[in-house]
């Protein structure tokens, strides 16, 4: 019998949710016995090589590339988990949502206290750079999300419990300790 295939990706965030996944410590060996990883920093596969059963996505959508990746992950994964506050609500990157994009760009590249080396006042304009969106969007505003795991980042035990319950068909047990924020 083949193992369920899991993919992970990170958008606009800090990669903390992936760090929580790694914080399951030696249980990662048990997880590898239960699932096969595809397109994940865990196995360094950069692109999908097949359809996946479960996708874990962290980070909000702040540029066109994030939207493209979100849609591709949704299309490729049967079940999609939203990990962490950036994916659920935009998180810290969404602090810019009340500021016009033009003002953010001016501060970052022209007027900010750390831009002294940009004497020519050059703005990034390479076609390879993804277009910045008007705000940071939580992923559920872009694609359908099946499960939400909150936290900044979600606790390792929460991710472990959710994945193991899903792949083994067991009841998901979420004691207060794995979802509390205090």
Rounded Cα–Cα distance for residues 126 and 45 (Å): 27
Of 99, 29, 27, 36, nearest to 62 (Cα)?
99
Residue 63 inside a domain? The answer is: yes
Name every residue whose Cβ is closer than 8 Å to that of residue 30 and which is 6 or more positions away in sequence.
none
C-alpha span between 11 and 8 (Å, rounded) = 10
Q: How many structural domains are present in the chain?
A: 1
pLDDT of residue 158: 92
Task: Give residue 55's domain range.
Answer: 5-96+135-179
27 in a domain, yes or no?
yes
Cα–Cα distance for residue pair 108/110, rounded to 1 Å = 6
Contacts of 154 (CB under 8 A, 6+ apart): 17, 20, 83, 84
Give dist(CA 26, CA 81) in Å, integer: 22
Average pLDDT, the chain: 91
The DSSP line for 58-117 is: ESBEEEHHHHHHHHHHHHHEEEEEEEHHHHHH-TGGGGGGGS-HHHHHHIIIIISTT-TT
Q: How far apart are CA 5 and CA 111, in angstroms?
A: 47
Stretches where the chain sits below pLDDT 70 are: 180-182
In whole angstroms, give the CA distance from residue 110 to residue 121.
6
Which CATH number does the domain housing residue 67 bear?
Answer: 3.40.50.700
| Confidence (pLDDT) at 180 | 65
Q: Does the residue 12 lie in any domain? A: yes
In a domain, 88, yes or no: yes
């Amino acid at each position: 019998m083949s193992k369920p295939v899991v993919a992970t990706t990170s958008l606009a965030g800090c990669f903390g949710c992936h760090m929580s996944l790694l914080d399951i410590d030696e249980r990662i060996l048990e997880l590898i016995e239960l699932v096969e990883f595809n397109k994940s920093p865990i196995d360094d596969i950069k692109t999908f090589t097949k359809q996946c059963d479960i996708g874990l996505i962290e980070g909000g959508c702040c540029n066109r590339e994030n939207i493209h990746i979100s849609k591709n992950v949704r299309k490729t994964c049967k079940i999609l988990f939203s990990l962490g506050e950036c994916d659920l609500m935009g998180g810290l990157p969404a602090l810019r949502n009340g500021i016009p994009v033009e003002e953010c760009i001016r501060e970052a590249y022209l007027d900010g206290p750390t831009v002294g080396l940009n004497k020519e006042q050059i703005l990034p304009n390479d076609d390879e750079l993804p277009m910045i969106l008007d705000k940071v969007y939580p992923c559920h505003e872009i694609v359908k999300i099946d499960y939400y795991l909150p936290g900044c980042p979600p606790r390792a035990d929460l991710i472990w419990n959710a994945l193991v319950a899903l792949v083994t068909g067991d009841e998901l047990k979420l004691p207060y300790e794995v979802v509390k924020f205090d």
